[in-house]
C-alpha cells in the first residue's frame, strides 16, 4: 500500500482544515504549528482555519478506489494539522467530512483528538444512536495521568467499533488503574515499575477504573524537536507490559529527540555517552528529570536513566531491541 506520510501507524493523512490551538501539555511544542506558520497559516483560538478545494477532498476517494482494487483497507489519520473536534472549524466542513467517511468504506479513518469531550455532540446524531460507521477508529491523546483520568471514559463511551489511545508525547508515568476518586489521597499503590504493568488502587481495588487494555489499540511515543521533553523508558515499558498481558496491539512510534543510553539502567557514576552531540544530556528519574551535581548519582539510583539529545532519526523506534509495529485487524 502506497503512503503519503512517514507516520509509522498510518498510510495517509487527510486534513479537512489546517489550524488549531493549544489545549494540552502535549501541545506545548506542537510540530503542526511550526509547519503551518511556515506556510502562512495562523494558529490559535482566534485564527481562521485554512480550507481546501475539491481536488484536496477528492484524494480520499482515490485512496478508497486503490484500496478496494487490491482488497486491502488503507489507514487514514485525520487530522495531522488540526483537531477533528476543534469548535472553530468553518461551517459545513465537519459535515462534509462525515459524508466523505461514509462514502469511503475501504478506508479506516483514524480520528485522533485532544478534545474527546466534544465528540458526542459534534458527530452526526445518527452515529451516536446507531453506532459509528465500521470504518471509523476513534482515538484520544493521553500525555499524563490527569488526561487519562479525565478522558478515558469519554473515549470508551463513544459507540465506535474500535477505540485507541495515543500516548504521545508521553510526559509521565500513567497508572491505568489509578482511581479518580482516590487520586491524590495517597491510597494508590501505583507509581512503581513492575514487569506486569499493573497497579491496583488499595482503597477500591480499581473497581470501575479503566485500563490500557480496555482500548483496542495503543500507540506510544516520545516528543521530537529540539525543545522536546524526554520520555522515561519505564513509562513506555509498563504500558507495553499491560498490552501484552491483555493481547492489545501495541505500537511504539518513536523515542523522539532523546535516546536512553544503551547501558540501562544508568550506572552509579555518570557513564560516557558516545552518541551525544555537543548539546548536553540529562538523567531521568521516575518523575521525568533529575539534576545530578557533578555528574554523580545518589547511592539509591534505581530507576535512573541517562538520555542523550540525538534527534528523532538517530533515536529510532526500537524499544528493548526491537520495533513494535502492531495494528488492530482492519
Q: Strand, helix or coil at 128? A: helix
pLDDT at 214 (0 to 100): 83
Going from the C-alpha of 198 to that of each of 49, 72, 192, 237, 294, the distances in angstroms are: 42, 36, 9, 11, 36
**Residue 271's pLDDT band (boundaries 50, 70, 90)?**
very low
In this predicted structure, the answer to whether residue 156 has a pLDDT above a threshold of 70 is yes
Catalogue the long-range contacts made by 183-189 (C-beta closer than 8 Å, 24 or more residues apart).
183/145, 183/149
* Average pLDDT taken over every residue of the chain: 83
pLDDT at 104 (0 to 100): 98
**Residue 184's pLDDT band (boundaries 50, 70, 90)?**
very low
pLDDT at 275 (0 to 100): 38
The CATH class, in words, for 12-257+315-323 is alpha beta
pLDDT at 286 (0 to 100): 75
Q: Cell for 249?
A: 496491539
In this predicted structure, the answer to whether residue 4 has a pLDDT above a threshold of 50 is yes
pLDDT at 212 (0 to 100): 63
Domain spans in the chain, listed from the N-terminal domain onward: 12-257+315-323
Q: How many residues does the chain have?
A: 330
pLDDT at 177 (0 to 100): 63
Q: Where are the alpha helices (DSSP H) in 280-325?
A: 312-315
**Residue 261's pLDDT band (boundaries 50, 70, 90)?**
confident
**Residue 164's pLDDT band (boundaries 50, 70, 90)?**
very high
> In this structure, are strands 217-221 and 162-167 parallel, antiparallel, or unpaired?
parallel
Report pLDDT digits (tens) over 15-38: 999 999 999 999 999 989 989 889
Report pLDDT digits (tens) over 292-330: 544 555 545 556 777 888 899 999 999 998 999 999 986
When pLDDT is averaged across residues 104-117 and rounded to a whole number, the result is 98
- Give backbone dihedrals phi and psi of 145, rounded to 5 degrees, phi first: -65, -40
pLDDT at 274 (0 to 100): 39
In this predicted structure, the answer to whether residue 206 has a pLDDT above a threshold of 60 is no
**Residues 186 and 170 sit within 8 Å (Cβ to Cβ):** no
Q: Cell for 157?
A: 463511551
In this predicted structure, the answer to whether residue 290 has a pLDDT above a threshold of 70 is no
Q: Within 10 Å of residue 79's Cβ, how many Cβ atoms?
A: 24
pTM of the model: 0.86
Report pLDDT digits (tens) over 46-76: 999 999 999 999 999 999 999 999 999 999 9
- Give backbone dihedrals phi and psi of 65, rounded to 5 degrees, phi first: -65, -40
Query: Which region among 100-104, 282-286, 306-310 has the lowest average model confidence (pLDDT)?
Result: 282-286
- Which letter does DSSP use for residue 23 in this model? -
pLDDT at 329 (0 to 100): 85
In this predicted structure, the answer to whether residue 118 has a pLDDT above a threshold of 80 is yes
Locate the DSSP E strands across the chain.
12-13, 74-78, 107-113, 136-141, 162-167, 217-221, 250-254, 258-260, 282-284, 305-309, 318-319, 322-323
Amino acid at each position: 500500500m502506497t503512503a503519503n506520510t512517514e507516520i509509522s501507524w498510518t498510510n495517509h493523512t487527510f486534513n479537512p482544515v489546517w489550524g488549531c490551538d493549544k489545549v494540552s501539555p502535549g501541545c506545548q511544542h506542537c510540530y503542526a504549528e511550526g509547519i503551518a506558520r511556515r506556510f502562512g497559516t495562523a494558529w490559535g483560538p482566534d485564527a481562521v482555519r485554512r480550507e481546501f478545494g475539491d481536488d484536496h477532498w477528492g484524494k480520499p476517494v482515490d485512496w478508497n478506489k486503490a484500496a478496494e482494487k487490491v482488497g486491502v483497507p488503507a489507514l487514514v489519520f485525520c487530522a495531522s494539522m488540526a483537531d477533528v473536534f476543534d469548535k472553530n472549524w468553518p461551517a459545513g466542513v465537519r459535515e462534509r467530512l462525515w459524508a466523505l467517511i461514509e462514502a469511503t468504506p475501504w478506508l479506516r479513518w483514524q480520528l485522533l483528538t485532544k478534545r474527546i469531550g466534544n465528540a458526542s455532540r459534534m458527530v452526526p446524531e445518527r452515529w451516536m444512536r446507531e453506532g459509528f460507521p465500521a470504518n471509523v477508529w476513534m482515538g484520544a491523546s493521553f500525555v499524563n495521568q490527569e488526561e487519562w483520568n479525565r478522558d478515558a471514559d469519554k473515549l470508551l463511551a463513544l459507540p465506535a467499533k474500535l477505540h485507541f489511545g495515543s500516548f504521545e508525547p508521553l510526559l509521565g508515568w500513567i497508572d491505568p488503574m489509578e482511581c479518580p476518586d482516590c487520586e491524590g489521597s495517597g491510597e494508590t499503590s501505583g507509581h512503581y515499575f513492575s514487569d506486569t504493568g499493573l497497579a491496583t488502587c488499595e482503597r477500591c481495588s480499581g473497581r470501575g477504573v479503566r485500563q490500557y487494555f480496555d482500548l483496542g489499540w495503543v500507540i506510544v511515543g516520545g516528543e521530537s524537536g529540539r525543545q522536546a521533553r524526554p520520555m522515561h523508558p519505564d513509562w513506555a515499558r509498563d504500558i507495553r507490559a499491560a498490552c501484552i498481558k491483555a493481547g492489545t496491539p501495541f505500537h511504539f512510534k518513536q523515542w523522539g529527540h532523546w535516546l536512553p543510553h544503551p547501558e540501562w539502567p544508568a550506572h552509579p557514576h555518570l557513564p560516557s555517552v558516545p552518541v551525544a552531540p555537543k548539546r548536553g544530556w540529562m538523567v531521568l528519574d521516575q518523575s521525568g528529570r533529575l539534576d545530578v551535581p557533578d555528574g554523580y548519582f545518589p547511592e539509591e539510583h534505581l530507576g535512573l536513566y541517562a538520555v542523550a539529545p540525538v534527534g528523532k532519526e538517530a533515536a529510532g523506534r526500537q524499544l528493548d531491541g526491537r520495533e513494535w509495529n502492531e495494528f488492530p485487524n482492519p
